[in-house]
């Protein structure tokens, strides 16, 4: 029997318009390897209390309520979001009900293409078919324990709020084709859910927020060059400074030409960097760099205003 719960309804909107929506789902099935079409039961559907505990953790972290948590940028916004949870142990063993796959390392990875269709199979009185801007699939895989996320695929046919980054034009889009997708292992704690949410809330086509601890990959929050310049970028007409170090005394990797935007608190690495390396193990003190913070606030507020 499916347990679909409206944790909070979110901001009032005209009929048919949804506020910014986060769905948290107990993943029913795991594809045992990418594109294998083999599915194993996800143990999370045998443990509703563990799922509910993880829901509380996610919402506390997004709301800035973990003990000592410094990054509270979503605290004023999140009470206006619609939050829905789904626990349904009765889903068929089908690909459409597998929200996560095991990769060839130890990660659970979202099967992003099936997320929106999965949600549409649920209909609530007064709400209609479910949808989301970001969706968490919580897994209790016994073998794959690292969490991961994929950015939102925007609907680029829908008008939005234009902006530029160093002259390049992009648009904060209020609608998506595929919601941002997080595969979250139920052992995840600390800053994991907020880090992964921040990937998922960004966009494949209108600004990707990437991992700062890896030198590889292009993203809005990563730049390259030596010597490190004073300026990181100009976003939406505002100048953002570059960070001379990774924060908290961490140097950039030897031989790397990567540099980051100025940290909100230079005493700690940024939240998209390796928060596990924060001084004293105090990952909860890590905050987003200034560009990531402004970009995500603008993007999410554009979606909230639809």
Partner 1 sequence: MEPVRPRDREKALSTGGTEAELAEYHRLVARRFATNPYTPKSPDEIRAIEAREQRIGDLHHKLFSDV
Residues that bind partner 1 (CB under 8 A): 34, 103-107, 112, 146-150, 153, 178, 185, 188, 192, 195-196, 199, 204-205, 208, 210-211, 213-219, 274-277
CA distance 195 to 52: 20
Q: How far is the CB of 276 from partner 1 (least distance, A)?
A: 5
Between residues 82 and 185, which has the closer beta carbon with respect to partner 1? 185
Kindly report the backbone phi and psi dihedral angles of residue 61, in degrees, each rounded to the nearest multiple of 5, phi listed first: -70, -45
Q: How far is the CB of 150 from partner 1 (least distance, A)?
A: 7
CA distance 28 to 45: 6
CA atoms within 13 A on the CB side of 192: 17
Between residues 90 and 251, which has the closer beta carbon with respect to partner 1? 251
Taking each helix axis as running N to C, give the angle between helix 48-62 and helix 192-200, from 0 to 180 degrees, rounded to the nearest 10.
70
Q: How far is the CB of 139 from partner 1 (least distance, A)?
A: 13
Q: How far is the CB of 72 from partner 1 (least distance, A)?
A: 22
Between residues 84 and 134, which has the closer beta carbon with respect to partner 1? 134
Closest CA to 30 of 185, 174, 258: 185
Q: How far is the CB of 23 from partner 1 (least distance, A)?
A: 21
Between residues 69 and 176, which has the closer beta carbon with respect to partner 1? 176
Q: DSSP states of 229-291 as a string?
A: PSEEEEETTEEEEBPSSSSTTPPPPTT--EE-BPBSSTTS--TTS-GGGSGGG-GGG---BHH
Count the residues in the chain: 306
Distances (CA, A) of 163 to 5, 56, 107: 36, 35, 34
Between residues 88 and 277, which has the closer beta carbon with respect to partner 1? 277
Q: How far is the CB of 219 from partner 1 (least distance, A)?
A: 6
- The answer to whether 259 touches 228, Cβ cutoff 8 Å, is yes
Between residues 214 and 236, which has the closer beta carbon with respect to partner 1? 214
Q: How far is the CB of 283 from partner 1 (least distance, A)?
A: 10
Between residues 145 and 304, which has the closer beta carbon with respect to partner 1? 145
């Amino acid at each position: 029997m499916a347990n679909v719960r409206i944790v909070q309804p979110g901001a009032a909107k005209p009929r048919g318009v949804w506020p910014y929506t986060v769905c948290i789902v107990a993943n029913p099935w795991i594809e045992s390897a990418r594109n294998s079409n083999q599915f194993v039961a996800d143990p999370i559907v045998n443990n509703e209390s563990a799922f509910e505990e993880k829901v509380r953790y996610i919402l506390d972290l997004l709301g800035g309520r973990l003990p000592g948590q410094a990054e509270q940028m979503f605290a004023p916004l999140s009470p206006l979001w619609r939050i829905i949870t789904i626990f349904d142990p009765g889903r068929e063993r089908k690909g459409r009900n597998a929200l996560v796959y095991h990769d060839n390392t130890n990660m659970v990875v979202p099967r992003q293409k099936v997320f929106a269709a999965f949600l549409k199979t649920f209909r609530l009185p007064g709400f209609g078919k479910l949808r989301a801007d970001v969706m968490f699939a919580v897994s209790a895989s016994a073998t794959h324990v690292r969490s991961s996320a994929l950015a939102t695929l925007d609907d680029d046919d829908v008008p939005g709020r234009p902006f530029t980054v160093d002259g390049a034009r992009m648009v904060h889009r209020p609608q998506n084709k595929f919601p941002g997708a997080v595969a979250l292992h139920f052992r995840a704690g600390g800053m994991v859910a907020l880090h992964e949410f921040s990937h998922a809330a960004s966009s494949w086509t209108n600004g990707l927020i990437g991992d700062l601890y890896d030198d590889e990959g292009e993203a809005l929050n990563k730049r390259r060059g030596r010597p490190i310049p004073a300026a990181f970028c100009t976003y939406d007409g505002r100048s953002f400074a570059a960070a001379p170090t990774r924060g908290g005394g961490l140097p950039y990797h030897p031989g790397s030409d990567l540099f980051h935007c100025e940290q909100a608190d230079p005493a700690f690495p940024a939240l998209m960097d390796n928060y596990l390396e924060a001084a004293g193990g105090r990952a909860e003190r890590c905050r987003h760099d200034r560009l990531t913070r402004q970009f995500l606030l603008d993007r999410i507020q554009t979606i909230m205003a639809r």
